A and B are shown apart, each in its own frame.
Chain A
Amino acid sequence: METTSQPAGGRPHGRLGRDVQAKIGHQLRAMYDDVVKEGVPERFVELLKRLDNKDVKGPKS
């Protein structure tokens, strides 16, 4: 895992810089966490409850 190097002729730190990269990372996580914060919608809690009670005979793949 120590090879996190940028590609040899890479640009990420050149033209665009860490600053922009950090902002991208931040936006990405903010967008994602926005959804995560909503927690588990009731429909999925219900679904699991239902599946838990009865025999699940879904199509095995």
Chain B
Amino acid sequence: MTLDPSVRDAVLAAVPSLRAFAISLCGNVDRADDLVQETLLRALANIDSFEPGSNMPAWLFTILRNLFRSEYRKRRREVEDADGSYAQTLKSQPEQVGHVEFQEFRTALAKLPADQREALILVGASGFSYEEAAEICGCAVGTIKSRVNRARARLADTLSIESMEDFGPDVATRAILAGSTSR
């Protein structure tokens, strides 16, 4: 098979965002990259079912999300784990995913129900419309909206204690206390 160069470019162009999505889903870079690899293999094996000119990122995200879901379900059957072990994984690997400064946020994100987490990321970070996110998740637009709203409310709840200290207007004071100069 020879890939149409424009298709190949479109796939490659989506990879950075696919990785970011995968990492925020599984909280582990290595697993996320494996998931991306699996997604690409699956996508290219089924490239005929991709309609030229349609939304490549959305198509790839759908595949990745489905792969993640089936793996997640498998894992869940093995270890029934409400919220615990996922968050635990993150805690034990603070350096795994980029900056430590996001650790608190990441942990809070990890505590969200999977449905809400993916909806929030797709809309709030990946930049998909509610309609696209609904398509990716195979649900109604209204469902995505309510998941995003609930996710935001819940994150705000979780982070609100910290927000007094950490996200407050007092960043300058903190910077001085930490002895750090402006960046």
Which residues of the other chain, B, contact A21 by a CB distance below 8 angstroms?
152, 156
Interface residue from A32, A45, A48, A58 paired with B20 (Cβ < 8 Å): A32
In the complex, the chain A residue whose C-beta lies closest to that of B146 is: A7
Interface residue from B2, B12, B106, B124 paired with A44 (Cβ < 8 Å): B12
The prevalent SS among residues of B at the interface is: helix
Which residues of the other chain, A, contact B46 by a CB distance below 8 angstroms?
58, 60-61
- The yes or no answer to B120 lying at the interface (CB within 8 A) is yes
Q: How distant is A7 from chain B, measured CB to nearest CB, in Å?
A: 6
Which residues of the other chain, A, contact B125 by a CB distance below 8 angstroms?
28-29, 31-33
**Cβ A56 vs Cβ B44 within 8 A:** yes
What are 6 A-B interface contacts by the 8 Å CB criterion?
A7-B149, A31-B106, A33-B125, A47-B37, A48-B11, A52-B3
Which residues of the other chain, B, contact A39 by a CB distance below 8 angstroms?
16
Chain B 71-103, CB-CB to A under 8 Å as 1, else 0, gives 000000000000000000000000001110010
Given A31-B102, A32-B121, A44-B37, also A51-B3 (CB < 8 A): yes
Cα distance A24–B105 in the bound complex, in angstroms: 8
- The yes or no answer to B134 lying at the interface (CB within 8 A) is no
Q: How distant is A21 from chain B, measured CB to nearest CB, in Å?
A: 6
Interface residue from B44, B155, B157 paired with A51 (Cβ < 8 Å): B44
Chain A 18-61, CB-CB to B under 8 Å as 1, else 0, gives 00110111011111111111111101110110011011111111
In the complex, the chain B residue whose C-beta lies closest to that of A3 is: B145
Q: A11-B153, A32-B21, A35-B20 are in contact. List 5 more A-B contacts (CB 8 A).
A: A20-B167, A31-B24, A40-B16, A48-B11, A52-B1
**Cβ A32 vs Cβ B15 within 8 A:** no
